[in-house]
Amino acid sequence: MNGKLIVIEGLDGSGKATQARALAEALQAQGRDVMQITFPDYASDSSALVKMYLGGQFGSHPDDVNAYAASTFYSVDRFASYKMKWGEFYRKGGIVIADRYTTSNAVHQCSKLPPKQWNAFLDWLFDFEYNKIGIPAPDGVIYLEVDPAVSQALMTGRYQGDEAKKDIHEKDTEYLARSQQAARHCAAALGWVTVACCQAGEMRTIQQIHEDVLRATKEILC
Ligand SMILES: Nc1ncnc2c1ncn2[C@@H]1O[C@H](COP(=O)(O)OP(=O)(O)OP(=O)(O)O)[C@@H](O)[C@H]1O
Ligand SMILES: [Mg+2]
């Protein structure tokens, strides 16, 4: 009996790691069997191509690597992680909380394509990963929606104001804005649960967002 896979998705710096951790802790406190995973799996060699891509080795602009090629770098990283880290736990009934997943390719790579090609790309992507490669499809996706200007400020704060530490996606504000449009499309088309993380141009508190995430999770798990 397979377990459950819950994905926390959102643009860069939207609070995915923060909310994934809080959710895993809350479920553990309820006595549930929980494993947290995160993508890209930077601790593993399987993220080598992702690191080359984000570091700009194939070009310094996100559009230098097309949506399909870039997606495969992340797909193989997820496959390796499933095989080596969490597949058995999931197949035995555990709850897996993922900070990013295949859904991140949907958000970040659609923005490289004209909107009329998005659905064909999404069909290819989900078929490739969930059917052909054979990693699990999520039981639910929780999309943390933030205003791109707010997430940019959060990331600058995280890097102590050093803009040079941002990767090729994080630096490109126009790319981030297009990614937000793609994310909204995906959320609507694919039934993701949207949690609004900003109010009046500011982040809501971690606890307020957590309560919405927990509510969404209850519906996914029941
Ligand atoms: N609700 C919030 N209010 C204020 N700061 C927050 C909030 N949630 C997260 N942060 C802070 O914002 C930064 C980004 O959060 P986090 O690392 O959880 O985001 P992320 O979506 O995982 O980022 P990335 O996409 O870069 O992996 C961190 O410094 C975190 O402490
Ligand atoms: Mg993160």
Instruction: Please report, in tens digits, the pLDDT of each residue of the chain (222 residues total).
Output: 899 999 999 998 899 999 999 999 999 999 999 999 999 999 999 999 999 999 999 999 888 999 999 999 999 999 999 999 999 999 999 999 999 999 999 999 998 999 999 999 999 999 999 999 999 999 999 999 998 888 777 777 777 777 777 777 776 777 788 889 999 999 999 999 999 999 998 999 999 999 999 999 999 998
Q: Count Cβ neighbours within 10 Å for each residue of 18-30 and write b for 16 or more, e otherwise.
A: ebbbbbbebbeee
Question: Which ligand ends up closest to the CA of 150?
Answer: 1
Going from the Cα of 14 to the center of ligand 1, the distance in angstroms, rounded, reads 5
135: phi then psi, degrees, rounded to nearest 5? -90, 155
Question: Which ligand ends up closest to the CA of 14?
Answer: 1
Closest atom of ligand 1 to 204 CA is: 1
Task: Quote the CA–CA distance of 167 and 185 in Å, as a whole number.
Answer: 24
Note whether 183 and 143 are within 8 A (CB): yes
Closest atom of ligand 1 to 157 CA is: 29
The dotted CATH code for 4-221 is 3.40.50.300
Ordered alpha helix ranges (H), the chain: 16-29, 48-54, 67-81, 87-91, 102-110, 118-126, 148-158, 173-190, 206-221
Which residue has its alpha carbon closest to ligand 1 atom 15? 15
Closest atom of ligand 1 to 10 CA is: 21
